[in-house]
Amino acid sequence: MPVTLRQLRYFKAVVENGSFARAAESVFVSQPALSLQVRELETTLGWPLFKRDSHGVALTALGREVHEQALRVLDEALLLETMGKRFNEGPFRISLGIVSTLAPYLVGGLTEGLRKAAERIDFSLCEATTNQLLNKLLGGHIDAAIISLPVGKLELTEQELFEDPLLLAGSASRLAAFRNLADGLKAENLAMSDLGPLLALNEGHCLGDQLLGACAKSNLEGVHRDLQSLGSLARLAGADAGLTLIPATAAAFEQAASPDLHFLRLARPEPKRRIGLVYRVAFHDQRWIEPMGEAAARVGKRLIEDGLALPD
């Protein structure tokens, strides 16, 4: 028998909810009805999609491949169902994720830029870590995300917007001590213990990992990695609690909020993060993608110019 969209939707619901009972509740059908559709899908494919045990369900090897394909099929079906609405004169309503270490600085300018675009684009904002936004994007909960690259997912398209240099941030006295190091303003010198503690965002934030990678720090000794927000990181660095790396996109805003915070640009190859617009492959020809990317790139590059213009 042919595979149906209903079967794929129910299968997707089980994957997202981790159990047949919760999946049935999420799609408003009885559990036996949902289970029957999934069994019929497994019969058609000739192999189990789930391993069932007392703890719930987990995807088999085939199940993982089918899940990736099902997301693509359901995306295309959604486009068909909404094609008329998307191509009329009404505004595009997009659910957009922005990584939390960029969202506070980008969102105001992005909103203003999209108001001036030829295409009317309204977006609802989801702010989270890169990995959290990727999961939402793959699950169909958001339409696009502005996050750190690379992503490396076949079902997602990556469009680079700008490169965001990471600036050394701290009090004037700590930055002066770093300047006096004999072999220059190299990122790997941040690992030296006599410079004081390194401040980093906690696990789950790409920026925390980038700091450890940039300074060649192979362990957590001398690293304070308990912070959730870039604002808290900047306040502590400005209060002489340690050194950290702050993206140039955030530098001007954070220095205005913490006047004792100073910045120093590191020697080449300076640490940086690549920021891009990521969306599902099925959306590649949607008219909102180009103006969204152009507006985000303009705002990001302007923020970087402002950050790099700060006096050392």
Tens-place pLDDT, residues 276-298: 999 988 777 788 899 999 999 99
Could you identify the residue written with the tokens 């090897």? 61
Instruction: State both tokens at 46.
Output: 């000739």
Whole-prediction pTM value? 0.71
| β-bridge mates for residue 246, sequence order | 167
Q: Is the pLDDT of residue 218 over 50?
A: no
Least confident of 57-66, 75-84, 198-207, 228-237: 198-207
Residue pair 233/201 in contact (Cβ under 8 Å)? The answer is: yes
Task: Specify the pLDDT at position 133.
Answer: 93
247 prior amide bond cis, ω within 30: no
Where is pLDDT greater, at 111 or 207? 111
Domain-wise residue ranges, the chain: 5-84, 97-160+277-303, 164-272
Q: Please count the other Cβ atoms lying within 10 Å of the Cβ belonging to residue 145.
A: 24
Residue pair 198/224 in contact (Cβ under 8 Å)? The answer is: yes
CATH fold for the domain made of 164-272:
D-Maltodextrin-Binding Protein; domain 2 (3.40.190)
| Domain 5-84 identical in fold to domain 97-160+277-303 | no
The residue count for the chain: 312
CATH superfamily of 97-160+277-303: Periplasmic binding protein-like II (3.40.190.10)
CATH fold for the domain made of 5-84:
Arc Repressor Mutant, subunit A (1.10.10)
Q: How confident is the model at residue 219 (pLDDT cuts 50, 70, 90)?
A: very low
Tens-place pLDDT, residues 247-263: 999 999 999 999 999 99
Q: At what angle do helices 5-17 and 31-45 cross, to 10 degrees?
A: 110
Task: Specify the pLDDT at position 192.
Answer: 63
Residue pair 131/204 in contact (Cβ under 8 Å)? The answer is: yes
